[in-house]
Amino acid sequence: MVQASEQAASSAPAYGGRSEMIAFALMVLVLAILPAFVYPPFLMKALCFALFACAFNLLIGYVGLLSFGHALYFGWASYFAAHLAKAGTISIPYWAGSWHWLNLTSGPMAPELAILLAVLGAAFLGVVAGSIAIRRQGIYFAMITLALAQMMYFFAVQAPFTGGEDGIQPVPRGHLFGMFNLANDDVMYVFVLVVFLLGFLLIYRIIHSPFGEVLKAIRENEQRAISLGYKTDRYKLMAFTLSAAIAGLAGAVKPFVVQNASLTDVHWSMSGEVVLMTLLGGLGTIFGPVVGAFSIIAMQNYLASFGQWVTIIQGSIFVLCVLLFRRGIVGEIANMFRIKL
Amino acid sequence: MKLLRTAILTAAMVSAGAAYGQVSDGVVKIGVLNDMSGTYADLAGAGSVLAARLAIEDLKDVVKDLKIEVVGADHQNKPDIGSNIVRQWIDVDKVDVIVDVPTSSVALAVNEIVKEKNKVFLVSGAATSDLTGPRCSPNTIHWTYDTWALANGTGNAIVKTGGDTWFFLTADYAFGHALERDTSAVVTKNGGKVVGAVRHPFPGQDFSSFLLQAQASKAKIIGLANAGADTTNAIKQAAEFGITQKGQNLAGLLVFLTDVHSLGLKTAQGLIFTEAWYWDMNDTNRAFAKRFAAANRGIYPSMIHAGVYSAVTHYLKSVAALKNDADGAAVVAHMKKSKTKDALFGEGEIREDGRKIHPMYLFEVKKPEESKGPWDYYKTRATIPADQAFRPIGEGKCPLVKG
Amino acid sequence: MEINLPALFGQLLIGLINGSFYALLSLGLAVIFGMLNIINFAHGAQYMMGAFAAYFLLQFAGLNYWWALVLAPVIVGGIGIVIERAFLQWLYKLDHLYGLLLTFGLALIIQGLFRHRYGSSGLPYQIPPQLTGVRDLGFTFLPNYRAWVIVFSLAVCFGTWFMIEKTRLGAYLRAATENPTLVRAFGINVPRMITLTYGFGVGLAALAGVMAAPIYAVNPTMGADLIIVVFAVVVIGGMGSIMGAIVTGFGLGVVEGLTKYFFPEASNTVIFVIMVIVLVTRPAGLFGRAA
């Protein structure tokens, strides 16, 4: 992890912002005109996953933490948003001699409110999970995040509001801010694109900030950072929570796109997929996860009739990337042209 | 360039709209959606695609003016995958009718999408009686069987012969819950008692701890509210733990021909269950079965396959009569108005709530010595006449049913 | 709460059986991790290959369960050696996380190939005739085969522990784990030991697979969810400790069995909850050395 991101980060920072800005402009342009040529619901799904991958990359590429259970935040935010949009009840358990439930009902919520609350929920889960996982490093950290996600998967199977195997469906798209009818695919696309770009820019801002510099320092040499006086645990937890929240944002938008929330979103294979997207796209590059996400979603879509070959190909990509192609697509491009992406 | 494209597209759409009463984009596209690789692959799977093709072949004269295509896809028993496939099929591939869809949670999801997009949904594989109940739709017809019919047939028969205390082992999704609910109702209505139930993940693998709980409950009957590999595994493991030796009986609430085949007659003998169709009941069925098995790796047709054949036959007849497949609700309305007649189910009708009506049969699995050859597994214990086999239309709470 | 003894003992027995599998699998993982510092995510897939090997041996070679117990681990272990030579050896100089990612990819490939060919509904494998039948213990029925699983697993676990902790070969292994360069200087072929250790760990997984074949249907996804529970077991036990892996495996199986009796809804998650508690109180694991 450290090596790939170091290579990506150190190749000619002299160009710094310019190459990134050009790439960003290019990305916005492409994403704006693609819906004319490609089935919009497919693009929207890809955008959600791109944001999810970017959030994941924040942790692995810039802090050096491999979270193998990131589907937890993505999937649960999905459930929260879907449930709030469809039923709009929040049940809070409290203790008063025995367990009671406090039920707050507001009726089906507007999409922006459902998404906001879902993101907060994901952030909360991130804080809790992060504080447990950060107690160990490296491999142990990865395994703990995986196990925590699996535990929450089983909660999802049993919690009544998730609908278990059936999932939550159909999820109404509703009217954004009471004005924009999200049932219209074009309007929905603009919304998803805007959310994606905002999330993307937020991550960019985080990386290129004093906070981000400390994170990179922790990735390179945590002991040194500690000796310099930084409370690294706090920084790691902060980064973890931010990553969880942004993954939650992606997860909260997704049920409005596909109109359902299901166990697939919290399953460990979803966690594996986001790792794959980021690895293929390029760890530690800003645009890598976007490229990786689109590639993998496209592959899943167009090879869907080939059944298990999708899984086999994904596994092969993992193996090939780890052995031969550690920089990923964007990483290799950045390395070739000696620019920063 | 984009402007020119849009102009051409608009012109095409306008001209297409003007030709009212023509099949949309010239092709009647049938989408067979089911589990192609998992626990339901044998009782549905590629066999359902074959059944659809056989139906088209047999209708050669009726549909000679129509161009028909059949596509198949694997929903892997997941509602989100099924939903995605159906959306793309309708939006991009111009599929006009979705057929089969076992796994009730997927069927319910597809039900909503098809209603929204005004296409047609012919359910053969899924079981939940909600499809003709609270979730009924003017675009959906529930063909082969449902949880109420199964509960009614099997539950009734078993309670009447003394099995009056029940413990349920239920698959934890829409189908399992529906089956447990409908069977419990039948049991209690007939004076029996449900002493307990436990939910197992779907699909499950190790049922030992659930079976132990069933054993501890001391219920006379352990009802298996699951299907496919779950049922066969539970039956095998129950035998391993000697559950039947200690005096309890297993009731398979949804058992298919392919399940009996994989269990073997030695383990499955004596099992009693309800089905809608069996290949060995008459000559037409037998001829179909041989034709089907020849093209299906020797696997004989299940009632699901027969249901797909029957549904596609009736659908195509309606489309040929209307010369139009674009308005799903209109096609379904026509299907409901006309009586059904096909080689496998004979004559039948479709009710206002979308329920296809035909007799159901109570089967018992033969002993090994009673069977004359492979796939000769059932003997008929009882025929439930069509008017008694399904839930009375008034009890379903379907919004389409007036009064 | 009124305790129904037969039901309780029944669940405990099942717990011991599950514990046997947890112990065997976490033992293999611990052995591999100790030597190679790699988390073998493919362990679940290799367990599955062991079950399939038993099935194939029966279908195509007519070799029964007892042959499979010996041959399947050897065959799958051999495949493991090939994997180590072809893929894993290039990763030793890299960050350990790459090993996790690579073995994860391998697991996907293996599982995908088997699912493609065999679907996911499972193939039948009969309990060997010598072990069929049920023993009436009075308070519960214990199938003979499941009793055998417990006994044989204990034997294999003990045997492995003995070999690693008490024999000379084991001493070399332990030394090579701590200081490979020095051990090489003594003339011992460390890379070969590493390869064989991986093969051995994989063989243990395959052995568990053979034992699982008669009770759980042989299907391509049988190892997928199981491996994550085993991860939790190893984290609780503390990696690198052989005894820790064995004791934790059996112990957690029993705890899971008890949970199924007292609080069935939690039975899937209890092991993870315990993992969280252990991490908060004793981060190195119950038997681990501080990492």
Per-residue confidence band for A158, with pLDDT thresholds at 50, 70 and 90 = confident
Residue located via tokens 């040529």: A37
Residue B353 sits in the same domain as residue B364: no
Q: What is the pLDDT of residue C37?
A: 82
Query: pLDDT (tens digit, 9 = 90+) per residue, B223-250?
Result: 999 887 788 888 888 877 778 777 788 8
User: pTM score > 0.95 for this model?
Assistant: no
Q: What is the pLDDT of residue A1?
A: 56
Nearest to B363 by CA among B257, B261, B220: B257
Q: What is the pLDDT of residue C289?
A: 61
Q: Is residue B185 part of a domain?
A: yes
A87-107 b/e with 16+ CB inside 10 Å = b?
ebebeeeeeeeeeeeeeeeee
Residue A109 confidence (pLDDT) above 80: yes
Residue B171 sits in the same domain as residue B198: yes
Residue B182 sits in the same domain as residue B66: no
Residue C91 phi, psi (nearest 5): -95, -10
In this prediction, residues A242-263 reach a mean pLDDT of 94
Q: Is residue B18 part of a domain?
A: no
Q: Which of A19-33, C85-99, C118-132, C214-228 has the lowest mean pLDDT?
A: C118-132
In chain B, the number of structural domains is 2
What's the rounded Cα separation, in Å, for the pair A4 and A283? 7
Q: Give the gyration radius of chain C's Cα atoms.
A: 19
* Distance in Å, alpha carbon of A21 to nearest chain C alpha carbon: 31
Residues of C in contact with B205 (CB under 8 A): 216-217, 219, 222
Q: Is residue B254 part of a domain?
A: yes
DSSP state of A162: G
- Name residue C270's beta-bridge partners: none
Mutate to test the interface with A, among B3, B80, B202 (most CBs of A within 10 A): B80
Residue B134 sits in the same domain as residue B37: yes
Averaged confidence pLDDT in chain B:
86
Contact (CB<8Å) A2/C107 = no
Question: With helix as H, strand as E and coil as C, how does chain C read?
Answer: CCCCHHHHHHHHHHHHHHHHHHHHHHHHHHHHHHHHCCCCCCHHHHHHHHHHHHHHHHHHHCCCHHHHHHHHHHHHHHHHHHHHHHCHHHHCCCCHHHHHHHHHHHHHHHHHHHHHHHCCCCECCCCCHHHCCEEECCCCEEEHHHHHHHHHHHHHHHHHHHHHHHCHHHHHHHHHHHCHHHHHHCCCCHHHHHHHHHHHHHHHHHHHHHHHCCCCCECCCCCHHHHHHHHHHHHHHCCCCHHHHHHHHHHHHHHHHHHHHHCHHHCCCHHHHHHHHHHHHCCCCCCCCCC
Nearest CB among C108, C276, C291 relative to A132 is that of C276
Residue B301 sits in the same domain as residue B238: no
Q: Is residue B90 part of a domain?
A: yes
- Name residue B69's beta-bridge partners: B29
CB atoms within 10 A of CB B57: 10
Residues of C in contact with B233 (CB under 8 A): 122, 217
Contact present, A115 and A188 (Cβ < 8 Å): no
CATH of the domain at B321: 3.40.50.2300
Nearest to A282 by CA among A74, A70, A60: A60
Contact present, C110 and C47 (Cβ < 8 Å): no
Q: What is the pLDDT of residue C121?
A: 67
Contact present, A310 and A299 (Cβ < 8 Å): yes
Query: pLDDT (tens digit, 9 = 90+) per residue, A201-251?
Result: 999 999 999 999 999 999 888 889 999 999 999 999 999 999 999 999 999
Contact (CB<8Å) B73/A305 = yes
* Distance in Å, alpha carbon of C64 to nearest chain A alpha carbon: 30
Helix (H) or strand (E) holding B31, with range, is: strand B27-34
In chain A the beta strands, taken as DSSP E runs, fall at 89-95, 99-105, 175-176, 180-181
The region that residue C123 occupies, defined by phi over 0 for left and psi between -120 and 50 for alpha, beta otherwise, is beta
In this prediction, residues A268-279 reach a mean pLDDT of 94
* Distance in Å, alpha carbon of A164 to nearest chain B alpha carbon: 7
Residue B68 sits in the same domain as residue B174: no
What's the rounded Cα separation, in Å, for the pair B24 and B16? 8
How many A/C residue pairs have CB atoms within 8 Å?
A: 127
Residues of B in contact with C143 (CB under 8 A): 240-242
Contact present, A134 and A236 (Cβ < 8 Å): yes
Chain C positions with Cβ closer than 8 Å to A? 39, 87, 90-91, 94-98, 100-102, 104-113, 115-116, 225, 228-229, 231-232, 234-235, 239, 265, 268-269, 272-273, 275-276, 279-280, 283, 291
Between strands B346-350 and C134-136, the pairing is unpaired
What's the rounded Cα separation, in Å, for the pair B113 and C102? 40
Contact present, A219 and A4 (Cβ < 8 Å): no
Q: Is residue B382 part of a domain?
A: yes
Residues of C in contact with A268 (CB under 8 A): 228
DSSP state of B270: T
Residue B30 confidence (pLDDT) above 90: yes
Coil, strand or helix at A95: strand
Q: Compare all CA atoms of chain C with the CA of B236 and give the residue at the minimum distance.
A: C215
Residue B80 sits in the same domain as residue B130: yes
Q: Is residue B327 part of a domain?
A: yes
C128-166 b/e with 16+ CB inside 10 Å = b?
beebeebeeeeebbbbbbbbbbbeebbebbeebbeebee
Q: Is residue B166 part of a domain?
A: yes
What's the rounded Cα separation, in Å, for the pair C224 and A277? 21
Residue B103 sits in the same domain as residue B218: no
Query: pLDDT (tens digit, 9 = 90+) per residue, B75-100?
Result: 988 888 899 899 999 998 999 999 99
Residue B51 sits in the same domain as residue B81: yes
Query: pLDDT (tens digit, 9 = 90+) per residue, C65-100?
Result: 999 999 999 999 999 999 999 999 888 888 888 898
**Structural domain boundaries, residue B118:** 26-145+282-358
What's the rounded Cα separation, in Å, for the pair B265 and B260? 7
Residues of C in contact with B268 (CB under 8 A): none
Dump the DSSP string for B168-223.
EEEESSHHHHHHHHHHHHHHHHTT-EEEEEEEE-SS-S--HHHHHHHHHHT-SEEE
Residue B351 phi, psi (nearest 5): -85, 170
Q: What is the pLDDT of residue C7?
A: 74
Please report all neighbours of A, defined by 3+ CB atom pairs within 8 A: B, C
Among positive and negative, which fits the CA dihedral C190, C194, C197, C199? Answer: negative
Q: Which of A85-99, A254-268, B302-316 has the lowest mean pLDDT?
A: A85-99
Contact present, B362 and B152 (Cβ < 8 Å): no
Q: What is the pLDDT of residue A2?
A: 52
Contact present, B99 and B72 (Cβ < 8 Å): no
Of B217 and A240, the one with more pLDDT: A240
Contacts of A229 (CB under 8 A, 6+ apart): none
Q: What is the pLDDT of residue A198?
A: 96
CATH class of C5-281: mainly alpha
Residue C208 confidence (pLDDT) above 70: yes
Residue B136 sits in the same domain as residue B201: no
Averaged confidence pLDDT in chain A:
88
B239-278 b/e with 16+ CB inside 10 Å = b?
bbbbbeeeebbbbbbbbbbbbbbbbebebbbebbbbbbbb
Retrieve residue A84's tokens.
Answer: 């709030």
Per-residue confidence band for A14, with pLDDT thresholds at 50, 70 and 90 = very low
Asked if the interface predicted TM-score (ipTM) of this complex is over 0.90, the answer is: no
DSSP state of B96: -
Q: What is the pLDDT of residue A3?
A: 52
Mutate to test the interface with B, among A79, A166, A308 (most CBs of B within 10 A): A166
Residue B167 sits in the same domain as residue B194: yes
* Distance in Å, alpha carbon of C109 to nearest chain B alpha carbon: 17
Residue located via tokens 């609350």: A117
Contact (CB<8Å) B83/A165 = no
Residue B97 sits in the same domain as residue B213: no
Q: Which segment, A25-29, A99-103, C13-17, is predicted with the most confidence on average? A: A25-29
Nearest to A156 by CA among A220, A72, A96: A72
Residues of A in contact with C41 (CB under 8 A): none
Q: Is residue B220 part of a domain?
A: yes
Residues in chain A: 341
Contact (CB<8Å) A136/C232 = no
Among the candidates B341, B358, B375, a domain finishes at: B358
Residues of B in contact with C220 (CB under 8 A): none
* Distance in Å, alpha carbon of B62 to nearest chain C alpha carbon: 37
Mutate to test the interface with A, among C228, C230, C271, C281 (most CBs of A within 10 A): C228
Q: What is the pLDDT of residue B14?
A: 38
Residue A324 confidence (pLDDT) above 70: yes
Contact (CB<8Å) B39/C121 = yes
